[in-house]
């Protein structure tokens, strides 16, 4: 049977690993796990994810509990219909019990997203399993199967108390028969599998990019400029109008060419390194880098003194001075300001709650990018992960970014992106805008514009012939000032989306 989207592809694991997959936002091989990992088939072939057609061998199920009999096995049903394949798939042939590695060319047509293997009479072969290069996005999870309701309930209960683990995107079911395959599958994992070549994935960068994109989306609530920055980074693009700071971050993730800001990339490397993200350690690493050259030593000395509470100025005074300096020199690279904020507001929650009258729209988004990098996707607050559509959208961005940088040819169709507030507040959505203005004390953030048509003044009222519909437009400055001080959690965001869809 050819590898087709219609086949049922299964990934056996345990609920501990599944929770980590949800927390980090990607299905990976063992090397991609950010936290605790319990041995399962994801460890059998470095760089690849093993999928089984129709049923899971008993040996694979046994492996998922091999480190601890108290682990709960589960089976993830994988949906491959929205994948375009590159040179990244291998198949095992039942006939000779060996693997046939096949290059599968990328397909532009979405009509054949999982092509038949080239050069093979697929009607003569039956592939019981495939290896596909990691990572896969969460959109590939069609459902999760449990052997009994007690296991399912235990998984959901424990997940509710684990970090940013959200199970909202999952469809789960109980199917005892799926766990009763007695076939050993002793030759399922051939010795040569460990030597299969694969394009190395920069997981740290992928996860950092996910954190960056998520915080960029959060701050897109502040106005159209913020929304444009999110759209740019999520489309992997930049243009000449964007700031030095955006170019610095963008080029770190996407450019192979040297830039004049390259010397500062060591800062981003520190934020990008998940192993260095404890509060004290990343700050010490930054200071160590700044002390390495004479021209950056003054910054290191200032941050060291601040960290040790030896600065007499208040935090507000320090920020005010930075803002005044940058007003005089708007094209100066604002590295001192961003480094100070990383030391001052050293968590996502603190940054989200912080406002300053002198901040620009762009400042919040760029700070969000740096803080998102430092915390990675796994460090996001749970309420942000549970924004409608954000979990699966950012997961797909991370997967596409990882495969793009590794040049695997693997690509995933993007799911619907989460709704941007500025897009919801379109000029024609008068009922929704009226609701939003009332509920978020934002009436002064809009202006009503009448069409350029002939009208008469009748008893102090402007009257038009026929049906004339006004437009309601965002007034940028008051909108930014209002929304930058509003913390939108998942309940607020869900309420806004629900009202928008209903109007």
Radius of gyration of the chain (CA): 26
Query: Are 121 and 184 within one domain?
Result: yes
Two tokens, residue 92: 């095992």
Two tokens, residue 77: 């049903």
User: pLDDT grade, residue 21 (50/70/90)?
Assistant: very high
| 418: pLDDT strictly greater than 50 | yes
CA–CA separation, 213 and 447 (whole Å): 31
Is the residue at 3 inside a domain? no
Considering the chain, what percentage of its residues have pLDDT values greater than 70? 85
Is the residue at 111 inside a domain? yes
Query: Are 38 and 149 within one domain?
Result: yes
Among 107-116, 122-131, 206-215, where is mean pLDDT lowest?
Answer: 107-116
Domain boundary among 147, 167, 198: 198
Kindly state the average pLDDT of the residues 58-81. Answer: 93
Residue with tokens 């390194």: 273
**Would you state the pLDDT for residue 462?**
80
Query: Are 115 and 244 within one domain?
Result: no
Query: Are 218 and 181 within one domain?
Result: no
Among 4-8, 147-151, 346-350, where is mean pLDDT lowest?
Answer: 4-8
CA–CA separation, 99 and 317 (whole Å): 66
Query: Are 60 and 183 within one domain?
Result: yes
pLDDT tens per residue, range 455-469: 778 777 888 777 777
CA–CA separation, 140 and 26 (whole Å): 10
Domain boundary among 385, 406, 434: 385
Query: Are 318 and 455 within one domain?
Result: no
Query: Are 193 and 267 within one domain?
Result: no
pLDDT tens per residue, range 313-323: 899 999 999 99
Query: Are 333 and 251 within one domain?
Result: yes
CA–CA separation, 40 and 67 (whole Å): 9
Helix (H, G, I), strand (E, B) or coil at 245: helix
pTM: 0.88
Is the residue at 404 inside a domain? no
Two tokens, residue 99: 């693997």
* Residue 184 CA: distances (Å) to CA of 56, 142, 188, 407: 10, 26, 9, 36
Phi/psi class of residue 372: alpha, beta or left (left: φ > 0; alpha: ψ in -120 to 50)?
alpha
Is the residue at 414 inside a domain? no
| 98: pLDDT strictly greater than 60 | no
Is the residue at 390 inside a domain? no
| Crossing angle between the packed helical segments 315-328 and 335-344, to the nearest 10 degrees | 160
Q: Which residues of 479-500 are buried (b: 16+ CB within 10 A; e: fewer)?
A: bbebbbeeebebebbeebbeeb
Domain boundary among 198, 231, 251: 198
Q: Could you tell me the end-to-end alpha-carbon distance of the chain, in angstroms, rounded to an integer?
A: 49
Domain that includes residue 296, residue range = 209-385
Higher pLDDT, 123 or 20: 20
Is the residue at 87 inside a domain? yes
pLDDT tens per residue, range 265-301: 999 999 988 665 555 688 889 999 999 999 999 999 9
Q: Which of 374, 421, 487, 402 is nearest to 25 (CA)?
A: 402
Query: Are 176 and 234 within one domain?
Result: no
pLDDT tens per residue, range 187-240: 455 544 555 667 889 999 999 999 999 999 999 999 999 999 999 999 998 877
> For the chain, what is the largest distance between any 2 Cα atoms, rounded to a whole number of angstroms?
91
Query: Are 84 and 114 within one domain?
Result: yes
Query: Are 183 and 140 within one domain?
Result: yes
User: pLDDT grade, residue 123 (50/70/90)?
Assistant: very low
- The residues, any chain, with a CB within 8 Å of residue 125's CB and separated by 6 or more, are 1, 93, 94, 95
Two tokens, residue 244: 């030095």
User: pLDDT grade, residue 383 (50/70/90)?
Assistant: very high
CA–CA separation, 2 and 223 (whole Å): 49
Is the residue at 401 inside a domain? no
CA–CA separation, 250 and 268 (whole Å): 11
Query: Are 179 and 231 within one domain?
Result: no
Is the residue at 70 inside a domain? yes
Two tokens, residue 336: 């001192």
Total number of domains constituting the chain: 3
Q: Are 378 and 163 in contact (CB under 8 A)?
A: yes
Two tokens, residue 326: 């940058």
């Amino acid at each position: 049977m050819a590898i087709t989207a219609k086949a049922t592809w299964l990934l056996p694991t345990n609920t501990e690993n599944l929770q980590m997959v949800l927390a980090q936002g990607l299905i990976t091989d063992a090397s991609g796990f950010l936290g605790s990992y319990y041995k399962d088939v994801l460890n059998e072939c470095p760089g690849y994810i093993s999928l089984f057609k129709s049923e899971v061998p008993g040996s694979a199920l046994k492996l998922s509990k091999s480190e601890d009999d108290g682990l709960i096995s589960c089976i993830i049903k994988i949906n491959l219909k929205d994948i375009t394949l590159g040179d990244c798939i291998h198949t095992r042939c039942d006939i000779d019990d060996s693997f046939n590695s096949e290059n599968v060319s990328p397909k532009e047509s979405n009509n054949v997203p999982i092509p038949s293997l080239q050069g093979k009479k697929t009607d003569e072969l039956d592939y019981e399993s495939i290896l596909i290069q990691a990572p896969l996005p969460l959109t590939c999870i069609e459902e999760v199967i449990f052997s009994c309701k007690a296991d399912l309930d235990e998984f959901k209960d424990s997940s509710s108390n684990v970090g940013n683990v959200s199970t909202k995107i999952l469809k789960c079911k109980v199917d005892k028969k799926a766990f009763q395959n007695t076939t050993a599958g002793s030759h399922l994992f051939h010795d040569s599998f460990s030597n299969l070549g694969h394009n190395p994935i920069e997981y740290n960068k992928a996860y950092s990019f996910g954190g960056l994109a998520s915080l960029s989306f959060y701050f897109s609530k502040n106005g159209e400029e913020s929304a444009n920055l999110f759209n740019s980074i999520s489309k992997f693009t930049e243009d000449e109008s964007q700031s030095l700071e955006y170019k610095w971050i963008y080029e770190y993730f996407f450019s192979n060419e040297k830039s004049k800001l390259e010397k500062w990339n060591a800062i981003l490397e520190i934020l990008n390194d998940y192993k260095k993200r404890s509060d004290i350690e990343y700050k010490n690493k930054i200071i160590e880098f700044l002390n390495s050259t004479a021209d950056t030593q003054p910054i290191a000395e200032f941050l060291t003194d601040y960290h040790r509470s030896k600065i007499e100025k208040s935090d507000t005074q320090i920020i005010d001075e930075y803002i005044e300096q940058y007003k005089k020199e708007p094209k100066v690279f604002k590295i001192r300001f961003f480094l100070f904020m990383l030391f001052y507001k050293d968590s996502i929650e603190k940054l989200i709650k912080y406002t300053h009258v002198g901040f620009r729209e762009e400042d919040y988004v760029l700070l969000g990018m740096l803080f998102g990098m430092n915390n990675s996707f796994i460090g996001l607050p749970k309420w942000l992960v549970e924004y409608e559509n954000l979990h699966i959208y950012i997961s797909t961005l991370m997967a596409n970014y990882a495969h793009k940088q590794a040049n695997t040819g693997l690509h995933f169709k993007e799911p619907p992106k989460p709704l941007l507030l500025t897009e919801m507040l379109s000029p024609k959505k008068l009922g929704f805008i009226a609701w939003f203005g009332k509920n978020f004390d934002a009436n002064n953030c809009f202006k009503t514009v009448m069409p350029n048509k002939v009208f008469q003044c009748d008893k102090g009222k402007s009257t038009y012939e026929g049906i004339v519909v006004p437009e309601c437009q965002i007034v940028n400055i008051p909108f930014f000032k209002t929304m930058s001080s509003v913390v939108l959690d998942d309940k607020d965001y869900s309420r806004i989306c629900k009202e928008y869809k209903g109007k």
